[in-house]
Amino acid sequence: PQILDPMDICGQLSLQWMKDIGLFTNVDDSAEDGGSNDIPYIPLSVGSGDNMCSALGVGCVKPGMAVLSLGTSGTIFGVSDAPPSSQVAPFADACGRYLPLACVM
């Protein structure tokens, strides 16, 4: 398969999936073939890792911001424009910057 960046659009949600998850219940299948302008375009992105997506979900999107996640492990990660030191894991974030991360079990 082609390798894409996390922000790349790799497709769109099909009418069948929209029906399956309850977005549309009374839509004719012909609508997917251009029969209706009422069907929204819902893009699908390539995605990212769990910590990278959780950073987006809590709004940790600017350099200097950080997230502390406590669960199976204790993880702290933040957003940086510069590569991290060798003291932390050098992950990339979901937007093309760096996501320095440290974790304990």
Active site residue: 5, 50, 81, 93, which one? 50
50 belongs to the catalytic site: yes
Q: Which amino acid is at 101?
A: L
Task: Give the whole-angstrom CA distance, residue 83 versus residue 79.
Answer: 10
> What does the angle CA 70 – CA 64 – CA 69 come to, to the nearest 5 degrees?
5
Per-residue CA distances from 24 to 61, 87, 102 (Å) = 32, 49, 42
Q: Name the phi and psi angles at 78, rounded to 5.
A: -145, 180
Catalytic residues: 50
